[in-house]
């Protein structure tokens, strides 16, 4: 198993629902450790830059509007197979398709407001972590 780091964001809908702690508990129970964390209200520019790969998608503007609608919790999770493990904890993008017991099945309302973000591969994880955290802000766990 590979020790990995991944970028996780608890999106504005889940922060507003006051389930940050419940989501952190799922990370911890799965063996993922929080190696960095910050709460932030993203600017439009930051949200557009973060989701730049989706720039041409029809849902891009709605996604950016949603991501800047309130504060988010941003964290680096570290652990064995952290990238895939976090994706499994999150569940499918559309909460309607998300497996029972996943974060999105339990806390998300729609494909727009779907509670969490998680990096999808090692390359994107590295880019996304560096987008929000300096190397000195990420702690070996």
Contacts of 13 (CB under 8 A, 6+ apart): 66, 107, 108, 109, 113, 114, 115
CB nearer to ligand GDP: give 16 or 139: 16
Tell me 94's DSSP state.
S
Measure the CA–CA gap between 115 and 17, rounded to whole angstroms: 10
- Report the site for Mg ion in 84-123 (rule: CB under 5 A): 120
With CB cut-offs between 5 and 8 Å by kind, which of ligand GDP, Mg ion, none does residue 93 bind? ligand GDP
Q: Which of 30, 35, 37 is nearest to 10 (CA)?
A: 37
Measure the CA–CA gap between 104 and 91, rounded to whole angstroms: 6
33 CB neighbour count, 10 Å cutoff: 15
| 61 assigned binding-site residue | no
Residues near ligand GDP, by CB under 6 A: 54, 59, 62-63, 93, 111-112, 114, 117, 120
With CB cut-offs between 5 and 8 Å by kind, which of ligand GDP, Mg ion, none does residue 112 bind? ligand GDP
| Annotated active-site residue in 76, 117, 118, 129 | 117
Nearest distance in Å: CB 127, Mg ion: 12
Measure the CA–CA gap between 73 and 20, rounded to whole angstroms: 8
Nearest distance in Å: CB 140, ligand GDP: 26
| Per rule CB under 5 A, count of chain residues that contact Mg ion | 1
| 133 assigned binding-site residue | no
Residues that bind Mg ion (CB under 5 A): 120
């Amino acid at each position: 198993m590979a020790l990995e780091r991944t970028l996780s964001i608890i999106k504005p809908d889940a922060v507003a629902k006051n389930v940050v702690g419940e989501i952190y508990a799922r990370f911890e129970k799965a063996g993922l450790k929080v190696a960095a964390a910050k709460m932030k209200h993203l600017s439009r520019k930051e949200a557009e830059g973060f989701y730049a790969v989706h720039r041409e998608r029809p849902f891009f503007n709605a996604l950016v509007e949603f991501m800047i609608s309130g504060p988010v919790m941003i964290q680096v999770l570290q652990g064995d197979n952290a990238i895939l493990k976090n994706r499994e904890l999150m569940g499918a993008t559309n909460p309607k398709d998300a497996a029972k017991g996943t974060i999105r099945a339990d806390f998300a309302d729609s494909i727009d407001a779907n509670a969490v973000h998680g990096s999808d591969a090692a390359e994107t994880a590295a880019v996304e972590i560096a987008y929000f955290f300096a190397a000195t802000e990420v702690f070996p766990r």
